[in-house]
Chains A and B, each alone.
Chain A
């Protein structure tokens, strides 16, 4: 990560000041504006009730605040095939719409590179975004996933119609930054470690969405972990 820079981006109710990483103008860090919509996973988040997140657990899986410095959350799946956790922010505060640019990003690291199924991004309300080692979203989503493989896939979907691009980089056990930017005029650009990997212009979701992350154990049934260093969504309105 480089130094933060800033620029003005026009919204429907005026210009907004957007801070971004100098490594990529698409890597938003913060935004200031009267009507900016911003969500970021908190340190000390409440994962134990349904107040802040809807956490759907398949087996004896857990999510807790990380005890390693910098971690906002640590997901640990049970040592059973397909066991896992589906986490969504309560409410559906975001919606891709014309002239309302949106950024989503998360910094994650996994204990194995090809031993899990995961999704991270925005999705409609859904307690089973992944099922049987496949994306199973009922309505709409945009984000990144991997399915028991090191192949990382940029993806968006509207009701079973989806677009996917496999990134040129593969997953390993280092921390990686998964991001996408909606430009407010129909284009989703997907970035991995702040490098552009794909641009999609079809099946861009139009319904309300919420920040979501899923981690499941693969068919081999080993326990998996995913540490969330940060996860945020920012929209200019």
Chain B
């Protein structure tokens, strides 16, 4: 059920849970949502960095299945990957400015893959060698090859904090959501279940919506983005 409430002078629409912003209306709202018909082929809208270890070509494109805004198809080598970031760094956690980040994503292999989704500093290798590789700042979820544990994490000036989600990653579409209350707490939700809250260790640097998906074994793998959005008041 869509409800609305006033947060300061901004009208916020949310779904089911107070934290799940789906739309905000106000003169200074910062709102980004991946578009249908996004431009992934030039550097105008996204910075896309591919890694192809061997034969084949990794690509991100608009999905051809209804509802898909993006489809990552990694070529068939281990560590082939796609690193996607919105051009610019439009978001920054700051007191008085609540922020919501959310994404609905399905991956074709829940175990033999690396996944990163969230906000990060500008970085073309969010993950590397099956490990988190973000250089300095971010709030995010990630999982590493060989397991299905989603980790809720934050990085502030290269110092990391993390908590494992009790909900395992599967090949179904799953929700990855992060909410900053504009006071001093960042809360993580995996598939609608609260994972953890952090009241310290989250960044104050500028951030951008980010997505990374890599193969954990030598076989082509896909990641599907149904939606991905970030809203800050």
Contacts and interface: CB of A to CB of B under 8 A. Distances in A.
A208 interface: yes
A34 B35 CA distance: 14
A14 B68 contact: no
Interface string B36-75: 1111111010000000000000000111111111000000
A127 to B, nearest CB: 16
Residue from B15, B22, B37, B67 with most neighbouring chain A CB atoms (10 Å): B37
B42 A49 contact: yes
Contact of A52 (B4, B39, B66): B39
Contacts of B104: 35
Nearest to B13: A32
A32 B22 contact: yes
Nearest to B62: A91
Nearest to B2: A17
Residue from B16, B36, B104 with most neighbouring chain A CB atoms (10 Å): B36
Contacts of B190: none
Contact of A53 (B23, B37, B67): B37
The bracket for how many chain A residues form the interface is 20 to 34
A37 B37 contact: no
B32 interface: no
B1 A14 contact: yes
Given A46-B39, A52-B39, A34 B15 contact: yes
A49 B41 contact: yes
A39 B36 contact: yes
A8 B2 CA distance: 8
Majority DSSP secondary structure for residues of B touching A? loop
Interface residues of B, number: 30
A14 B16 contact: yes
Contact of B227 (A35, A50, A52, A90): A35
B174 to A, nearest CB: 13
Interface in B81-111: 104
B69 A93 contact: yes
A72 to B, nearest CB: 13
B226 interface: yes
A37 B42 contact: no
Contact of A93 (B15, B22, B36, B61): B36
A209 B62 CA distance: 13
Nearest to A53: B37
B20 interface: yes
Contacts of B2: 8, 14-17, 32-33
A92 interface: yes
A89 interface: yes
Interface string A222-237: 0000000000000001
Interface of A: 8, 14-17, 32-39, 46, 49-53, 89-95, 97, 208-209, 237
Interface of B: 1-2, 4, 13, 15-16, 20, 22-23, 35-42, 44, 61-69, 104, 226-227
Given A35-B227, A208-B66, 19 more contacts: A8-B1, A14-B1, A15-B2, A17-B2, A32-B13, A32-B23, A34-B22, A35-B104, A37-B67, A39-B35, A46-B39, A49-B39, A49-B42, A51-B41, A51-B42, A52-B39, A91-B37, A97-B66, A208-B65
